[in-house]
Structure 1
Amino acid sequence: MTHTTPDRTAVAAGDGADVPRSHRTDRGAWTETLATKVPEVILLFWVVKILSTTVGETAADFLSENLGLGLPATTAIMSVLLAAALVTQLAARRYVPWVYWLTVVLVSVVGTLFSDNLVDNLGVSLWTTTAIFGAGLVVAFVAWYRSERTLSIHTIVTRRREAFYWTVILLAFALGTSAGDLVAEKLAFGYVPSALVFGAVIALILVAHLKLGLNAVVAFWAAYILTRPFGASMGDFLTAAPADGGLGLGTNATSALFLAVIIAVVAWFTVQNRRQTRGVTA
């Protein structure tokens, strides 16, 4: 975990320079330099990210279909919860594991619902939604870079950069939902082959980064975007009936199991974060 020392905070410049605390007194709320609120990218980061992706897929189906809320009502309710989580996350001055990962789970659910509403309620094709969310993601990245001159998650130390970060993540989840459904259903790859395809591409990105010098920022965001359709395909495989090519575990069992794992890992993150915070304070 990257934490700041009591007297200095890492600036978001690409050269990794530091800014003394005294230099931050005249900054506005959106540009004030804070401690980073993004967790360290370790293996467990990717585990929880993929599990959150799958929960987003299964939870959206559970609320909309099993509870009979329907897509519009489910989208409205989850969007309000997401807005509350984002306000809490943006208001925090440091990384709080349960707030951060709750926001990720809710972004996953809402991103899934945005895609499902366009396809199921408005009749927009998966080709079109994939193109729309893909274009939106490119625009968000361009706007972020033009504003901040960096896309590195290690430089997210202002609320403005964090706002760009969450916008990109929401669009990435929505794009991943559409792209995953497009490959698995429209192109008839099936759930497991789709997961294998996306998993193989993620593995190639890792190899390109480690062995061929692929830029770390490019590798991170490419893998982050692709874990969404990978997790969605796995979620569909676990929940779908055997007749449809799935294991038939259902949305209830899958959501409960994955949420339990997420809660356990986030609890571990919280313990580690408190230990590091006490160490910095000491």
Structure 2
Amino acid sequence: MPSPANEFAAPPVNRVPDVTVDFWMIKVLAVTMGETAADYLAVNLGLGLTFTSLIMTGVLIVALALQFAQKRYVPWAYWLAVVLISVVGTLVTDNLVDNFGVGLETTTFCFTIVLALTFLAWYASERTLSIHTIFTTRREIFYWLAILFTFSLGTAAGDLMAETFDLGYLTTGLIFGGVIVLIAVGYYAFGLDAILAFWLAYILTRPLGASFGDLLAQPVEYGGMGFGTTVTSVIFLGCIIALVLYMTLKQTVDEAENILLDAD
């Protein structure tokens, strides 16, 4: 029989959001902005790739400290960390390719291995890769490491197909979008494992968003639509802020309803 202390103890609180349509919308917006914002800071503002990387890594560390301090899902803290880790993930790949001369084939392969090793270490430690049970700091560390490597891998894979294989940004985005649709069909129609489907889709939304971000921002002569990184980043940032405000309001309303139900 459970002790009175255990009987009335509060259940553990998940520190990351549920997977909803809102989640996927803001995820794609965040990864798209990560691609364009990294280019804007490094090129348009003239900060350079190395200096931009140092600044954004420092800002990301602060954002992750805020996220870990919440011990629960708080929309503004969580999505701030996602946007910043998207920028840093892009910069990691860009540094390897542009500053160190590592080919996109090599970076894609290496990040695939690193991500796989992260998942193996996570499963060996926690016996689950579920995002519905991020209750502890150790699980949250694995979670954010996996996200960082998905962004770096997605950037490398997207650039590999769009630039090295010369498929173009639109074709590359459509290919990754089509694969995501197949994953969704596999999950809803054929019983594909939910955790596997989530992480596959999460990885692929990065090159999907990055490809369409480049399509909008890059000059016409490079296969883009010429909107520029400034306009593209501002548009997507505005959409992200609007969605985060909506999520925050919805969470507040849900919590108030739960309190009323408990009181009854």
> Normalising to structure 2: TM-score of the pair?
0.94
Residue deviations 1:13-54 (CA, integer Å, cap 9, x gap): xxxxxx7564x9xxxxxxxx8411211211111110001001
Superposed CA RMSD:
1.6
**Where does 1:57-206 land on structure 2 (aligned, <5 Å)?**
57-206=35-184
Higher helix share: 2
Displacement of 1:72: 0.8
Q: Distance in 1 between matches of 2:202 and 2:103?
A: 24
Residue deviations 1:216-235 (CA, integer Å, cap 9, x gap): 00000000000000001001
Tell me which residue corresponds to 1:258.
236
Tell me which residue corresponds to 1:47.
25
Q: Distance in 1 between matches of 2:213 and 2:154?
A: 13
Relative to structure 1, is the Cα distance of residues 117 and 281 closer, same or farther in structure 2, using a 3 angstrom cutoff?
Answer: same
3-state secondary structure, aligned to 1:41: coil
3-state secondary structure, aligned to 1:36: coil
Task: Kindly indicate whether the alpha-carbon contact (under 8 Å) linking 1:34 and 1:94 is maintained by their aligned counterparts in 2.
Answer: no
What is the identity percentage for the equivalent residue pairs of Structure 1 and Structure 2? Answer: 53
Task: Kindly indicate whether the alpha-carbon contact (under 8 Å) linking 1:34 and 1:93 is maintained by their aligned counterparts in 2.
Answer: no
Q: 1:279 aligns with which of 235, 250, 257?
A: 257
Q: Distance in 2 between matches of 1:45 and 1:277?
A: 19
Displacement of 1:278: 1.9
Displacement of 1:159: 1.3
Residue deviations 1:81-103 (CA, integer Å, cap 9, x gap): 11011111111122110000000
Displacement of 1:280: 2.7
- Any unmatched runs of 5+ in structure 1? 1-6, 9-18, 25-32
Q: Does 1:217 align with 2:227?
A: no
Tell me which residue corresponds to 2:215.
237
3-state secondary structure, aligned to 1:68: coil
Q: Distance in 1 between matches of 2:114 and 2:238?
A: 33
Residue deviations 1:63-84 (CA, integer Å, cap 9, x gap): 0000110111100110011101
Q: Distance in 1 between matches of 2:140 and 2:222?
A: 40
Answer with 86-95 or 213-222: which moved more: 86-95
- Any unmatched runs of 5+ in structure 2? none
Q: Distance in 1 between matches of 2:73 and 2:8?
A: 18
Q: Which amino acid aligns with 1:265?
A: L
Q: Which amino acid aligns with 1:140?
A: T
> Normalising to structure 1: TM-score of the pair?
0.88
Q: Which amino acid aligns with 1:61?
A: D
Displacement of 1:242: 1.3
Tell me which residue corresponds to 1:207.
185
